[in-house]
Amino acid sequence: MKAENAFIEFENDEKESFPEIFELNIISGGCRIYGYLLTPDKRIPGPYPTVIMSHGFPGYTTNNDLELALMRMGCVVIHMNHRGAWGSEGEYLFTNLKDDLIAIAKWAHNPAIADQYGIDKENIFLVGHSMGGQTVLNAAKDLPFIKGVVAMAAYDIGAAFRYKMEKDLFLMIETEGQCLKMRSASDVYENALLNQQELSVLNRYDALIDRNVLLVEASLDTVAPPELMLKPLAEKLKEAGSSVEYQSIGSNHSFVGQRMKLTRMVGEWIEKNADC
């Protein structure tokens, strides 16, 4: 893997070496969740470090540019839509997100699947944005084989209730969540309310102390204010002796205008932490 290749494509592509995209459906909670898998140019020797992406709420802001850049660097990239989101079966609930990600990671770690797609089972990374950042941080504790975790502008439902942002959370569910399969905005909100302690990334810090962790804040973020939702986790990890890496990018919640900087930052961190 070479992070320097994030924005470089092979010249005079050989047909048999082309990067490929595969449609996926994976079972989670008895439901089919849909997505795709990217494999890099075959002139890059495998097996490949693998990145599993977790999208935010509800997923309007995509990270396709980051995914394609990671593929060019030499990674297999897995993009899945959580239950109830963007065509995937089932009901969207915050408590389903972690279980979906665990199911995907275990699927990728299966020897037969790893061999089929050139996945390096020893170098699987979780990368998530916003609510996906919360998801990857929460899932890591149940996935001991994961090599590292990257959370970008992570949202923390526990912090939303802790700092009296519940009205903003409900409004987000009611308006942005209209594209999701859910019984009602009230049901999804109640799921957050009843499970806020379990969902809070701050309450899961002890499972991350000995893990490779990159936290990236958007310093102008008003959706997931980093001083309330990301910095407290970084500070708690550092106090516990963790080698967590904390980076700041001067942008808003979606990192619009700073996507290349974000891509280089994430790619270089994965390259540094991958044993390949």
**CATH 3.40.50.1820: does it fit domain 3-273?**
yes
Q: Which residue blocks in 110-221 are alpha helix, DSSP H?
A: 111-117, 131-139, 157-162, 166-176, 185-194, 196-199
The pLDDT value given to residue 61: 81
The pLDDT value given to residue 29: 94
Count helices and strands (H / E) in the chain: 11, 8
Question: Do residues 64 and 35 lie in contact, with contact meaning Cβ atoms separated by under 8 Å?
Answer: no
| pTM above threshold 0.85 | yes
pLDDT > 90? residue 16: no
The pLDDT value given to residue 12: 74
Most confidently predicted of 172-181, 201-210, 218-227: 218-227
84-115 residue pLDDT tens: 999 999 999 999 999 999 999 999 999 999 99
The pLDDT value given to residue 162: 95
% of the chain with per-residue pLDDT over 90 = 91
The pLDDT value given to residue 159: 96
End-to-end CA distance of the chain: 7
The pLDDT value given to residue 234: 96
Token pair listed for 74: 């030499």
Q: What is the mean pLDDT of residues 153-166?
A: 96
Token pair listed for 232: 């407290």
The pLDDT value given to residue 11: 81
* Cα gap 193→170, rounded to integer Å: 10
The pLDDT value given to residue 275: 86
Task: Summarize the chain as % helix, strand, coil (round to 5).
Answer: 45, 20, 35
The pLDDT value given to residue 193: 97
Q: What is the mean pLDDT of residues 133-148?
A: 95
The pLDDT value given to residue 20: 94
The pLDDT value given to residue 237: 96
**Which residue ranges make up each domain of the chain?**
3-273
pLDDT > 90? residue 263: yes
* Cα gap 243→273, rounded to integer Å: 12
